[in-house]
Amino acid sequence: MLPRKQRYQDRIQILQGTLDMLILQTLQWAPRHGYALSKAIRANSGEIIRVDTGSLYPALHRLERKGWIAAEWKASEQGPRLRVYRLTKAGRRQLIPQRSRWQRLTAAIAGILNPANARSET
């Protein structure tokens, strides 16, 4: 039995990992700034996933610190300067294990939610 605090942190890590993967996945096709990124995630998920800005920006800065994405300021037409993030080589390398981990996780969850299916698959 883990102490309560540690279990709580595990939960956070899974959620963080998920958001990180979504960001990396979305940046795979083109560099984007924060607002465009949140719109893209929402659109690509069929308006289901709305990324909270309170999670998005910390995640972006954290990934930047890890060196998985890089940021640079770009001027926009008739608008404010924008901070545009792009995937780095290290980030691209991360994408594959992140995806496979996610797939294992979804399979596992699906197995829990639908035990019959899971058994028939194996």
Partner 1 sequence: MSWAFWRRARRNDELEEEIRAHLTLAEREAVESGGTPTDARSAARREFGNVNLVEEATRDSWGGRWLSDLLQDLRIGARMLRRNPGFSLLAVLCLTLGIGANAAVFSWIEGVLLRPYPLVTHQDRMAAIVGTVRGADRDEMSWLDFQDLEKRSTLAESFIAEKITGATLSIGDRAETAIGSVVSANYFSALGLHLALGRGFEPRENVGRNAHPVAVISYQFWQERFHGDPAIIGKTQMLNRVPHTIVGVAPEGFYGTFVGYSWQFWVPMSMQETFDYAGSYKLEDRGARWIEGFVMAKPGVNRAQLQQELSAIAARMETEYPDTNRGRGVQLFPLWETPFNGAGLLGPTLGVALCVVVFVLLIACANVGNLLLVRAFSRRHEMTVRLALGAGRGRLFRQVLTEGLILSALAAGGGLVVAWWCRNLLPRLIPPRSAPLRLVGELDWRVFVITALVCVFSTLLFALVPALRSGKADITGALRAESSGVVGGGRKAWFRSGLVVVQVSLSFLLLVGAGLVLQSLHRLRSASPGFSTDRVVATAFRFSAMGYDAARAKNFEDDLLARVQALPGVESASYSRTVPFSLLGFSSAAVAVDGYQAPRDQQPAAEYSEVSPGYFQTMGIPLVSGRDFLRSDDENAPPVAIVNEVMVERYWRGADPVGRRLQVSGKWLQVVGVAKLSKYRSFMEPPQAFFYVPLRQNFGMLASLEVRTAAPPQTLSPLLGREIRALDQNMPVYEAISLREVVNRSMAAPQVAVMLLTVFGSLALTLAAIGLYAVMSCAVSQGTRELGLRMALGARASDLLRLVVSQGLALTAGGVLLGAAAAFGLTRLLGYLLYLVSPRDPFAFAASSAVMAVVALGATILPAWRATRIDPVRALQS
Given the rule CB under 8 A, which residues bind partner 1? 33-36, 52-55, 57-59, 61-62, 65, 76, 79-83
Contact in structure between 76 and 82 (CB atoms under 8 Å): yes
Q: Which is nearer to partner 1, 74 or 104 (CB)?
A: 74
Q: Which is nearer to partner 1, 58 or 67 (CB)?
A: 58
With b for 16 or more beta-carbon neighbours within 10 A and e for fewer, the 88-102 pattern comes to beebeebbeebeeee
For residue 83, the minimal CB distance to partner 1 (Å) is 5
Q: Which is nearer to partner 1, 9 or 55 (CB)?
A: 55
Burial class (CB in 10 A: 0-12, 13-18, 19+), 42: middle
For residue 67, the minimal CB distance to partner 1 (Å) is 14
